[in-house]
Amino acid sequence: ELEEFLNFKQLKTPLKEVILLDYNTAGFWWAKEMNFSLIQLSGFMDLLNFLLENLSEKRMTLGKNLKELGRPMAGIGETDSERSGDLNFFNIEQAKAIIDYL
């Protein structure tokens, strides 16, 4: 619909693919500017993909998606390994920056 509205009649690449490329490229460069390590960069890109899947495939609302974001980020900065989440390789400041970015 957006292609029609914007009168994009001669696109060589489908608009959906262009949007996904832009989404991932923007996230990648933001993470690089944050000087994330390779494992942090990989974790951040996984997080972007996780949130996008929640929106596109599971049709989650923004509120539910933000709740889901809390699960992998739970325990960042905790020293107790039982309480730390999937993204425990980020520190608290990085976690705050990620939330701000999202």
Q: Domain-by-domain residue ranges, the chain?
A: 15-75+86-101
Cα separation, 58 vs 61, whole angstroms: 9
pLDDT value of position 97: 93
pLDDT of amino acid 2 = 65
pTM of the predicted structure, to 2 decimals:
0.74
64, pLDDT greater than 90: no
Rounded CA-CA distance 48/74 in Å is 16
Residues 6+ apart with CB under 8 A from 16: none
Residues in CB range of 71: below 8 A, 6 or more apart: 85, 86
What does the mean pLDDT of the chain come to? 81
Check pLDDT > 50 for residue 73: yes
| pLDDT-derived band at 32, boundaries 50, 70, 90 | very high
